[in-house]
């Protein structure tokens, strides 16, 4: 834990840790109406989308030369990149403008896709927001899971990552988005009306 950093950059990104607690407070007053089936199916979507996101990042890393061994098998990638330090901050700063533009658009459309799922599966705004966060949380957690399973990155929860590029780069260690996502899943699940 010697490399543990408590704060993300920019500093306002750290406020996201409060979101699950604030939502818990409001959703306890008036419970969410979301079925188990909706949670199951949107959770599966989030997990599947997490793999798609991981695959895109793997392709992007290979395209810009940050993924050694990609010409062979996944075992070759694991062997060659095990000790390879992938610096996300350097990658974000050295990404060619053409790829950066595509990456910004991809991030924006990712949010559109997650919002579309939420709109299609819930009737009221508060349930739509809850489903959006639910899907986002599963997507975020499984993005890291699938990256680790395929290329053995991140090497630990204290590995630095670029979380988003909109409106500018957000930097944090991996533990922060995973913690926020786990708390969000828990809060959405326990804030539903028992039916």
Is 142:50 a contact under the CB 8 Å cutoff? yes
Percent of the chain predicted with pLDDT > 90? 65
Residue 56 lies in a domain: yes
Residue 43 lies in a domain: yes
Residues contacting 58, CB < 8 A, separation 6+: 67, 70, 147, 150, 151
Residue 126 lies in a domain: yes
Residue 50 lies in a domain: yes
Which tokens is 95 given?
């990404």
Is 46:137 a contact under the CB 8 Å cutoff? yes
Domain enclosing residue 135, as ranges: 37-186
Residue 9 lies in a domain: no
For the chain, how many residues are written? 195
Residue 22 lies in a domain: no
Assess whether pLDDT exceeds 50 at residue 118: yes
With bands split at pLDDT 50, 70 and 90, how would you rate the model's confidence at 75? Answer: low
Least trusted range by pLDDT, from 26-35, 66-75, 135-144, 184-193: 66-75
Q: Could you give the number of structural domains in the chain?
A: 1
With bands split at pLDDT 50, 70 and 90, how would you rate the model's confidence at 83? Answer: very low
Q: What is the mean pLDDT of residues 28-54?
A: 96
* Beta strands, E only, the chain: 160-164, 170-173
Residue 51 lies in a domain: yes
Residue 41 lies in a domain: yes
- In angstroms, the CA 183 to CA 23 distance is 11
Query: Mapping DSSP to helix (H, G, I), strand (E, B) and coil, where does residue 171 land?
Result: strand
């Amino acid at each position: 834990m010697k490399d543990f950093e408590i704060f993300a950059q920019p500093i306002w990104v750290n406020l996201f840790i409060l979101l699950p607690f604030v939502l818990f407070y409001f959703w306890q007053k008036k419970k969410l109406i979301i079925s188990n089936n909706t949670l199951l199916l949107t959770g599966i979507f989030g997990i599947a989308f997490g793999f798609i996101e991981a695959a895109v990042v793997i392709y992007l890393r290979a395209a810009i030369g940050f993924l050694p061994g990609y010409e062979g098998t996944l075992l070759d990638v694991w062997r060659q990149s095990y000790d390879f330090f992938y610096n996300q901050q350097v990658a974000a700063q050295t990404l060619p403008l053409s790829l950066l533009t595509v990456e910004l658009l991809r991030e924006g459309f990712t949010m559109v896709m997650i919002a579309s799922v939420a709109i299609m599966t819930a009737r009221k705004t508060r349930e739509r927001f809850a489903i959006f966060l639910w899907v986002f949380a599963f997507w975020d957690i499984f993005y890291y899971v699938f990256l680790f399973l395929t290329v053995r990155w991140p090497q630990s929860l204290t590995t630095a990552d670029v979380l988003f590029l909109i409106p500018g780069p957000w930097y944090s260690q991996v533990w922060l988005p995973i913690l926020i996502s786990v708390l969000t899943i828990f809060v959405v699940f326990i804030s539903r009306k028992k039916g």
